[in-house]
Structure 1
Amino acid sequence: MATTPTPSPTDSGPATRESAPARSRWVAPLCWAAVALEGFDLVVLGVVLGVVLPTRLRNPTWGLTPGTAAVISSTGLVGVMVDALAIGPLTDRFGRRRMLLGTVVAFSLLTLACAFATGPLVFGVLRFVAGLPLGGVLPVALAMVNDVARSAKSGRATTTLMTGYHVGAVLTALFGIVVIPALGWQAMFVLGALPALVLVPLIAARLPESMPETSDADGRQNPVAVLFRKGRVGVTIAFWITSFMGLLLVYGLNTWLPEIMRAAGYQLGTSLALLLTLNAGAVVGMLIAGRVADRVGIRAATIAWFVAAAVFLALLSVKLPGVGVFVSVLPAGMFVFSTQVLVYVYISRRYPAAARATALGTLSGVGRLGAITGPLMGGALLGAGVAYPWGFFAFAVVSGLGAICVSLVGRASANRDG
């Protein structure tokens, strides 16, 4: 009666010789590593912007402006959005493992190609094409982790997975400080591709298929249709709007925080260190958020995190001397970046396993409109010369709207987790 494909030895590779529990232990670390690579790749543009923008230009033929750089950033995110929308139904139909393997191989090769771009047009095209496989990593990894996690601990399993994204972002900032002055910005894209030499063979050899067998009515339907059945229309739309707000915050800040801080008078090295601090705070915040969500309920935790993010974003408008600015950026990162991850936890609980990757993929894909809007909004504020302090107030308003949207998810249906 089950419609979910049963993994074959071909699908699972050499891992099928291990017991099922032993194979499952590989899911969390391998998915975490794949998400870390995604985090590195998606944040690297924000790190190199300080080098290729005109005031610090090393290659005068590029001639980038904040507006052009924002377009390139958003072009890559369009590619991410397209694949995020497509990957979920394919994953629910054909299996998680092969989709994760293919996406990691493809985006690593295309990230490497970005190091050899000859100008902004070629670079923008490569960022778009690289974004296509990149968009599939997160929905597949989230679906796999939730497939094997116990329901009582799904919050911490998801947030722990998502720390990989911000560890990747922290490493991007660290490498940017050390590598760019010595080797140039191109070396950052080479570094982003090299870990695949280890990760891809491990996925091929050890990662099992995680898709659960299903026999309910939802398991026999088109997974896209499941999102709109049984009174889920309002829930799905509310989730999508919430994801728009959450990803606008993540990508707007990760792309433009260094330049906003430079507009406030901080030096380039300090600005990159603040980006590192923001993402370090995100790792801490996620480890806390998952445990809070498992204890008090996902709806209450998500609303609280959006509200706290709004408060700490507004506080960033106050310029502080010395280490004070790092103290203010750290809690902002703890709450801002955890909000979207809690939304992933929430939607994973609201839809059946047979449509889990589709729900996550469409959430991520539609939310990428916010990811596209964030860099564009930051670029517009910088171009107008008002990014500091008004940019932080604008991001705070977005976070407040996210809290309202989460409350609408709860009102759209009775939710046992709320």
Structure 2
Amino acid sequence: MTSSGQSRQTEGDPDLRRRTITWIVGLALVGLIFDGYDLVVYGTLVPVFLRDPSQLGPVDPAQAGALGSYALVGVLVGALMAGSVADIVGRRKVMLTAYAWFSVGMIATAFTGTAGTFGILRFLTGLGVGALVATTGALVAEFAPPGRKNLCNAVTYSGVPLGSLVAALLAILLLPVIGWRGMLLIGGIPLVTLLPLALVRMPESPAWLMSRGRVAEAEQAALRCGIPLAEIASRPSPATAPATDGRPGFGGLFRDYLVPTVLLGLMSAVGLVLVYALNTWLPELMGRAGFSTSGSLSFLLVLNGGAVVGALLASRLADRFGPKKIVAASFGIGAVAIALMTVDLPLAVLLAFVAVVGLGTSGTQILIYGFVATYYRTNVRSAGVAWCAGFGRLGGVGGPLVGGLMVASGLALDSIFYVLAALAVAGVVLTWLVPGTHRGVPRRGERQDASTAAAN
């Protein structure tokens, strides 16, 4: 091999790396589109279940909230399980299993006939959804080039609100035609499309291989993906790192990052209360405010459209100024916009505020995942993202329940929005309390990846 060829392998191939990250982000994005569709399609079906007892039997608002939460309990369990597993067996295997699992779960749920069976299958489907959400951020962060990690994660996790947007749009267009069972069957499409493609085009992370001491495999994988060898060599592995750096998974996460991990989990929980309270109950709330069924679903469409656009723009700022400041600002903007929804405004202005609410809720959650994925070292990164996604799902579980209880209690519409605005303010406070990552004295036992440090 010529010296120029050796240099090209050692320094990486920018074109090959660009193609690799495009495939990875593309596949991960599509997976999270169906992930978001899976979790949010239920919100578009709630009015059907409340008004038509022939579907699942009589369903009241409190029970509807509980049914919405079963899937999120599954997400919590699946995410926490996947965090440790992905740091041990690899990101790729967990993601491929998750694609198959939640697709089969959606198909099975479409054939249920009782509320009890529906809830059980929603829980089981949630296991696959949680595993996917918990693993995706770690994989993307490990392939993304320095200085683009928050952007790549924002593009990827925008799949969740994009899936929500697709669910709302398809509900407007197709729900009267294909019914709620057809809406759930759509969620099984990845089984015959995304999964086969990912089997061929999704590689294992060289950084994860290096963190497991599989140096030769890591170097070969890096060369195949166009990643400079120096980039993965700078990352500590059990073979090269001191014992205080090498503990993988949740053990290393809670030993070396206890305070920030608790705060990041609470941030995610607050964010997901907002995300799922609004995605589950916004159509019903706007319907009670006097809007038609299709009109109230349009608010859900605008909410998630605002989340996607806002998060992509904010992620560029996060790469430049650091994610902490941008996440705090996004929570704050969301609080103001939610409070302003109580004002009597023209429809166009109200829709604009709903789009900003999307940035301050689902958009903020996208930014949080990017924050977490670039915060931790390699051998605890998947556990960190899993903790954020899993513990945060306590908020996701609470969101539909809190919304259902507020609606069932007859609480005024303005009061409901004020409660949600107060939660967004709590998110601002929690974000500012997270310790600085890499620009001060490192925490005990912490030695950060060079690429992670560059991203923060």
Q: TM over 0.5, yes or no?
A: yes
Q: Match of 2:137? A: 142
Q: Match of 1:237? A: 262
Match of 1:226 among 233, 252, 265: 252
1:191 is displaced (CA, Å) by 1.1
C-alpha RMSD of the superposition = 2.0
**What letter corresponds to residue 352 of structure 1 in structure 2?**
R
Structure 2 matches for 1:323-342, cutoff 5 A? 323-342=348-367
CA contact (8 A) 2:134 2:390 kept: no
- Tell me the alpha carbon deviations over residues 212-256 of structure 1, each in whole angstroms, 9 at most, x when there is no partner: 1132246631321211234x2111111111111111111111111
Q: 1:404 to 1:413 in 2, by over 3 A?
A: farther
Structure 2 matches for 1:387-406, cutoff 5 A? 388-406=413-431
Q: 1:121 to 1:349 in 2, by over 3 A?
A: same
CA contact (8 A) 1:61 1:119 kept: yes
CA contact (8 A) 1:96 1:211 kept: no
Structure 2 matches for 1:25-174, cutoff 5 A? 25-54=22-51, 57=52, 59=54, 62-174=57-169
Q: Match of 2:283? A: 258
Q: Match of 2:409? A: 384
Partners of 1:412 and 1:149 in 2: CA distance? 19
Structure 2 matches for 1:145-294, cutoff 5 A? 145-212=140-207, 213-214=210-211, 215=237, 216-217=241-242, 220-230=246-256, 232-294=257-319
Partners of 1:61 and 1:138 in 2: CA distance? 29
Structure 2 matches for 1:349-364, cutoff 5 A? 349-364=374-389
Q: 1:411 to 1:145 in 2, by over 3 A?
A: closer
Partners of 1:127 and 1:166 in 2: CA distance? 19
**What letter corresponds to residue 310 of structure 1 in structure 2?**
A
Q: Match of 2:450? A: none
1:131 is displaced (CA, Å) by 0.7
Deviates more, 1:145-154 or 1:319-328: 319-328
CA contact (8 A) 1:39 1:164 kept: yes
Partners of 1:322 and 1:359 in 2: CA distance? 41
Partners of 2:56 and 2:165 in 1: CA distance? 30
CA contact (8 A) 1:163 1:286 kept: yes
Question: Structure 2 unaligned runs (5+)?
Answer: 1-15, 212-236, 441-452
Deviates more, 1:150-159 or 1:32-41: 150-159
- Report the TM-score when normalising by structure 1: 0.91
Q: Match of 1:8? A: none
Partners of 2:395 and 2:438 in 1: CA distance? 24
Q: Match of 1:9? A: none
**What letter corresponds to residue 46 of structure 2 in structure 1?**
L
Partners of 1:250 and 1:374 in 2: CA distance? 7
Partners of 2:436 and 2:381 in 1: CA distance? 21
Partners of 1:121 and 1:362 in 2: CA distance? 28
CA contact (8 A) 2:49 2:56 kept: no
- Count how many residue pairs are aligned between Structure 1 and Structure 2: 398
**What letter corresponds to residue 324 of structure 1 in structure 2?**
V
Match of 1:346 among 335, 356, 371: 371
Please state whether the residue corresponding to 2:187 is helix, strand or coil.
helix
**What letter corresponds to residue 94 of structure 2 in structure 1?**
M
Partners of 1:390 and 1:291 in 2: CA distance? 35
Q: Match of 1:4? A: none
- Tell me the alpha carbon deviations over residues 294-338 of structure 1, each in whole angstroms, 9 at most, x when there is no partner: 122211111111111110011111233432321221111122222
Deviates more, 1:288-297 or 1:221-230: 221-230
CA contact (8 A) 1:144 1:211 kept: no
Partners of 2:362 and 2:412 in 1: CA distance? 20
Percent identity between the aligned chains? 34
Please state whether the residue corresponding to 1:320 is helix, strand or coil.
coil
Partners of 2:439 and 2:426 in 1: CA distance? 21
Q: 1:27 to 1:387 in 2, by over 3 A?
A: farther
Q: Match of 2:390? A: 365
Q: Match of 1:308? A: 333
Partners of 1:324 and 1:23 in 2: CA distance? 42
1:193 is displaced (CA, Å) by 1.1
Please state whether the residue corresponding to 1:317 is helix, strand or coil.
coil
1:211 is displaced (CA, Å) by 4.3
Partners of 1:327 and 1:264 in 2: CA distance? 17
1:23 is displaced (CA, Å) by 4.2
**What letter corresponds to residue 275 of structure 1 in structure 2?**
L
1:42 is displaced (CA, Å) by 0.4
Please state whether the residue corresponding to 1:180 is helix, strand or coil.
helix
Q: 1:364 to 1:39 in 2, by over 3 A?
A: same
Please state whether the residue corresponding to 2:193 is helix, strand or coil.
helix
1:24 is displaced (CA, Å) by 4.4
Please state whether the residue corresponding to 2:203 is helix, strand or coil.
coil
Please state whether the residue corresponding to 2:304 is helix, strand or coil.
helix
**What letter corresponds to residue 92 of structure 1 in structure 2?**
D
CA contact (8 A) 1:112 1:189 kept: yes
- Tell me the alpha carbon deviations over residues 265-298 of structure 1, each in whole angstroms, 9 at most, x when there is no partner: 2111111010001001011011111001112221
Q: 1:387 to 1:101 in 2, by over 3 A?
A: farther
Q: Match of 2:448? A: none
1:89 is displaced (CA, Å) by 1.0
CA contact (8 A) 2:250 2:383 kept: yes
CA contact (8 A) 2:281 2:400 kept: yes
